[in-house]
Every structure is written in C-alpha cells, then in structure tokens.
C-alpha cells in the first residue's frame, strides 16, 4: 500500500513539475523557406541531380542500343564473339548501376553535397533555437514540420519567426 501511495505521489510530482515547464514549437520547413541560402543550395542540388540523371540515362540508352545491336547480329556471331558481346553488355550495365549508386546511393555524391550545403544552415537554425530556449527558459521546443504526431499547437507558441529574427532575417 505504501508503494502505491509513493508511486502516485511521484507521478503527481512529475506531472506538476512538467506542467510548469515552458514549451513551444518551431516549423523548420517554414524557417528554411525564408532563408535565401537554403533556396540557393536546393537549386544547386536540383541541378546536380538532373545532371546525374541525364548522365545515367545516357548510359542506359547506349546500353539499350548495344543490346539491340547484339540481338540483331547474334545469329551471325561465333560463340566466342557472342560471349565477348554478352560480357561487354554485362560490364556496361554494371558500370551504369555502379555510377547510379555512386551518385544517388547512401553516402553518394549527391548526399555528400547535400550535407555540405544544407547542414551548415541547419546547424545555424539549431543554434538559434538553443539560444532562444536558454534565454527564454524553455524546457522543450518541438519541430512541427518533422513530427506529424503533433495534431494541434496554438500559434502563440510558434517561435519560428523569432528564430528567423535571431538569424537576421525579417518577415
């Protein structure tokens, strides 16, 4: 019985202290859209992605042409020539897939470029949020953009514009 009362008292104390804490939220998508450097970085990433896609598409088109040519000449080729042609097709296909992984795969060129361009902006935002939280005594600041389980938060608790102001941007 004492355990139950002690547990209830502990829960009540935690609930009371948590309700006394200041909480707010930011919308990082909104903040990022207001930062010109982010738009520039995103445009660079889009151009790079399109360039990589064109290069890979070109390789696959050449591979398709090589395969069609092989199919058309297959009946005229010796077994040795068929084997060499098939090996060439397999090699070219592997090269195209490897290039695709190199550009778009996990840890690939595009991901590294994104980290290079976007991460400093995200770090500045995080730093501004931490400064605001420390200065104004917030216990928690949520990101409404990345947490879809937050169903409603009153706009008066939105610190997004304050973060933008801290970063030197006006609305």
Q: Looking at the domain assignment, is residue 7 inside a domain?
A: no
Q: Looking at the domain assignment, is residue 14 inside a domain?
A: no
Q: Looking at the domain assignment, is residue 75 inside a domain?
A: yes
Q: Looking at the domain assignment, is residue 9 inside a domain?
A: no
What is the domain extent for residue 79? Answer: 20-166
> What is the model's pTM?
0.72
Query: What is the structure's pLDDT at 150?
Result: 65
Number of other residues whose CB lies within 10 A of the CB of residue 124: 16
Backbone angles phi, psi at 101, to 5 degrees: -65, -40
What is the number of structural domains in the chain?
1
Query: What is the structure's pLDDT at 1?
Result: 43
Interatomic CA distance for residues 94 and 49, integer angstroms = 20
Interatomic CA distance for residues 85 and 83, integer angstroms = 5
Q: Looking at the domain assignment, is residue 39 inside a domain?
A: yes
Q: Looking at the domain assignment, is residue 1 inside a domain?
A: no
Per-residue pLDDT of the chain (171 residues; tens, 9 = 90+): 444 434 444 454 454 444 557 888 899 999 999 999 999 999 999 999 999 999 999 999 999 999 999 999 999 989 999 999 999 999 999 999 999 999 999 999 999 999 999 999 999 999 999 899 889 888 888 888 876 666 566 777 888 898 998 888 876
Q: Looking at the domain assignment, is residue 15 inside a domain?
A: no
Q: Looking at the domain assignment, is residue 30 inside a domain?
A: yes
Q: Residue 161: helix, strand or coil by DSSP? A: helix
């Amino acid at each position: 019985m004492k355990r139950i009362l002690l547990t209830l008292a502990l829960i009540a104390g935690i609930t009371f202290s948590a309700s006394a804490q200041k909480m707010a939220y930011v919308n990082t998508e909104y903040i990022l859209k207001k930062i010109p450097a982010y738009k520039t970085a995103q445009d660079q990433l889009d151009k790079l992605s399109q360039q990589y896609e064109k290069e890979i598409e070109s390789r696959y088109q050449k591979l398709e042409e090589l395969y069609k040519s092989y199919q058309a000449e297959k009946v005229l080729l010796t077994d040795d020539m068929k084997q060499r042609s098939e090996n060439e097709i397999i090699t070219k296909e592997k090269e195209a897939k490897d290039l695709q992984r190199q550009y778009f795969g996990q840890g690939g060129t595009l991901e590294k470029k994104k980290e290079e361009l976007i991460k400093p902006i995200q770090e500045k935002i995080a730093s501004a949020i931490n400064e605001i939280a420390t200065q104004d005594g917030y216990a928690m600041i949520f990101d409404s953009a990345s947490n879809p389980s937050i169903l409603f938060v009153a706009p008066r608790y939105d610190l997004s514009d304050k973060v933008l102001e801290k970063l030197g941007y006006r609305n």
